[in-house]
Amino acid sequence: MIVKSIFKSYDIRGIYPKELNKEAAYKIGRAFIEHTKAKTVAVGQDMRFSSPALFKSLTEGITIQGADVYNIGQVPTECLYFTVGHYGYDGGIMITASHNPKEYNGFKTVKKEGDVVNVIRGKDMIEIVEKSNFSKSGKNGEIKEIDIWQDYLNHIFSFVEIDKIKSFKVVIDAGNGMAGKTIPQIAQKLPLKIIPLNFKLDGNFPNHPSNPLFEGATDQISNGVIKKKSDFGFIFDGDADRIFLIDEKGNFVRADITLLLLAKYFLEKNPGKGVAYNLICSKSVPEFIKKWGGNPIRTQVGFLNIQKGILKNNGIMGGELSGHYCFKDNFYSDSGMIAFLTLLQIISASGKKVSELTKELSPYAKSAEINFKVKNKETILKKIREQFSDGKQDYLDGVTVEYKDWWFNIRPSQTEPLLRLTIEAENQEILEKKKRELITFF
């Protein structure tokens, strides 16, 4: 029996083997070919303990449908996107649950369309899997091993000039995830002194949560940066497609501020291009993009929306608060490692400390996203729309209300019974006042 809840808005994910098991993996492999008509499929996997078993069942399903599998082994998710885009395979599947806890696993599925590696929504395959009315292939496909590492490294290094990167002392926290395999290969070409944290691949995530945004996840790296008197630090999530910057004081740098660092760099090289950001980013994001001569592209929350925004609006790159950064010249896909290398060059060129750089881009007081568990999302949203009807409202994603000296967004989660609240104000005093006012609705 297939558990329908594993098919999410953007991927397929569930607890192994209770929700996502070998039978499901086999049928998903077959459904992927049925859905995409792919003949060549790249498959990669992360370091989770269930990944090898899922690989076996998934690829049985793919090959029985007549498609060939190109096994790229244990890699960060972005290597899957690179492989499909660079080698021109029809599609690809990454076996990963990204930043979820150890008991989870899942699949990120993509297909190549022109020069774009497009994500296939998990929910797009529910019906095919449920019916399991698969067409029969005359001949089974084959599984072929390929080594993509050198081509991948050449690709990500094409975004920077190595001789412009200074010899910083940097703490890097791989979170026992795929950055632990990737960073050592990148570091061979860099003049950095790297202080590694949690580089041993371990699907148990023994040292802290795999999601850098979870409470306590950055305590270790923050303390490490201060103790080792490092210039700054980086922390990755489990499959290494999300990256966060830590300044020299051990402070976490919000991803929308990091987006601005990247945006300025890419706009200097590509004047007038678009930069996509989601609507819960600071209002400083569109302000600075306009100031630098770029076109700010406002989107709904979610990487797919950032990708679409770039595609439709002549964009060069984009990002969101979750720490995903997407680049046109990376097949319109996200890459934590391209962001990592580019930030090294940006910080090198600035001649400033990271705290100084980020302060310039953070003129407003902004709260972290606040989550409320609720039974009736729509009733609360309706009350908020009515209560704040004197503000400028839009409904791109939930409800955004803007006033002269503050704004907020309240949006429903796509996967949980939650409403998510973001508030930003001209100063901390206004922020705290408005936060108290909004919390009374829950």
Q: What is the pLDDT of residues 183-203, one digit of tens each?
A: 999 999 999 999 999 999 999
Count CA within 13 A, CB hemisphere, residue 94: 29
Measure the CA–CA gap between 225 and 76, rounded to whole angstroms: 25
What distance lies between CA 210 and its chain's CA centroid? 13
Residue spans of the domains in the chain: they are 4-146, 148-363, 365-439
Residue 220's nearest CA partner among 238, 242, 347, 228 is: 228
Task: Please give the pLDDT value at position 229.
Answer: 98
Residue that the structure tokens 């051990």 belong to: 250
- Reported as a pLDDT band with limits 50, 70 and 90, residue 49 is very high
| Residue 1 CB coordination number (10 Å) | 6
Q: From residue 329, how far is each of 76, 257, 307, 317, 326 by CA, in Å?
A: 18, 22, 12, 8, 9
Task: Return the amino acid letter for 401.
Answer: V
- The CATH number assigned to the domain with range 365-439 reads 3.30.310.50
pLDDT, tens digit, 9 for 90 and up, residues 155-167: 999 999 999 999 9
Task: Please give the pLDDT value at position 52.
Answer: 98
Residue 303's nearest CA partner among 26, 21, 4, 11 is: 11
Instruction: Report the Cα–Cα distance between both ends of the chain, in Å, rounded.
Output: 37
Q: Does residue 416 surpass a pLDDT of 90?
A: no
**Residue 26 contacts residue 63 (beta carbons within 8 Å):** no
pLDDT, tens digit, 9 for 90 and up, residues 228-269: 999 999 999 999 999 999 999 999 999 999 999 999 999 999
User: Are the folds of 4-146 and 365-439 the same?
Assistant: no
What tokens were used for 402? 């803007």
Residue that the structure tokens 């009315």 belong to: 133
The CATH homologous superfamily for domain 148-363 is: Alpha-D-Glucose-1,6-Bisphosphate, subunit A, domain 3 (3.40.120.10)
Radius of gyration of the chain (CA): 22
Angle at CA of residue 246, ends 224 and 249, nearest 5°: 65
| Residue 220 CB coordination number (10 Å) | 17
Task: Please give the pLDDT value at position 376.
Answer: 86
Measure the CA–CA gap between 93 and 97, rounded to whole angstroms: 12
> DSSP for 342-358?
HHHHHHHHH-S-HHHHH
Measure the CA–CA gap between 342 and 348, rounded to whole angstroms: 10
Give me the mean pLDDT over the 281-293 stretch: 98
Measure the CA–CA gap between 248 and 263, rounded to whole angstroms: 22
b/e per residue 393-407 (b: at least 16 CB within 10 A): eeeebbbbbeeeebb
Helix (H) or strand (E) holding 340: helix 336-350
**Residue 48 contacts residue 3 (beta carbons within 8 Å):** no
Task: Please give the pLDDT value at position 273.
Answer: 98
Helix (H) or strand (E) holding 432: helix 428-439
Dihedrals phi, psi of 185, to nearest 5 degrees = -75, -35
Query: What mean pLDDT, rounded, does the chain reach?
Result: 96
Give me the mean pLDDT over the 218-227 stretch: 98
Dihedrals phi, psi of 240, to nearest 5 degrees = 65, 20
β-strands 333-334, 315-319 pairing: unpaired
Measure the CA–CA gap between 261 and 85, rounded to whole angstroms: 26
What tokens were used for 387? 């209560």
Q: Does residue 433 surpass a pLDDT of 90?
A: yes
**Residue 374 contacts residue 418 (beta carbons within 8 Å):** yes
What tokens were used for 273? 């291009």
Task: Please give the pLDDT value at position 137.
Answer: 86
pLDDT, tens digit, 9 for 90 and up, residues 131-161: 999 988 889 999 999 999 999 999 999 999 9
What tokens were used for 66? 């007549």
Q: How many residues does the chain have?
A: 442
Provide the annotated active-site residues.
98
- Reported as a pLDDT band with limits 50, 70 and 90, residue 40 is very high
Q: Does residue 10 surpass a pLDDT of 90?
A: no
- Reported as a pLDDT band with limits 50, 70 and 90, residue 415 is low
Q: From residue 226, how far is each of 191, 209, 237, 248 by CA, in Å?
A: 21, 21, 21, 7
Angle at CA of residue 79, ends 75 and 82, nearest 5°: 165
> DSSP for 280-317?
TS-THHHHHHHHTT-EEEEE-SSHHHHHHHHHHTTEEE
% helix / strand / coil in the chain, to the nearest 5? 35, 25, 40
The CATH class for the domain spanning 4-146 reads alpha beta
Task: Please give the pLDDT value at position 413.
Answer: 83
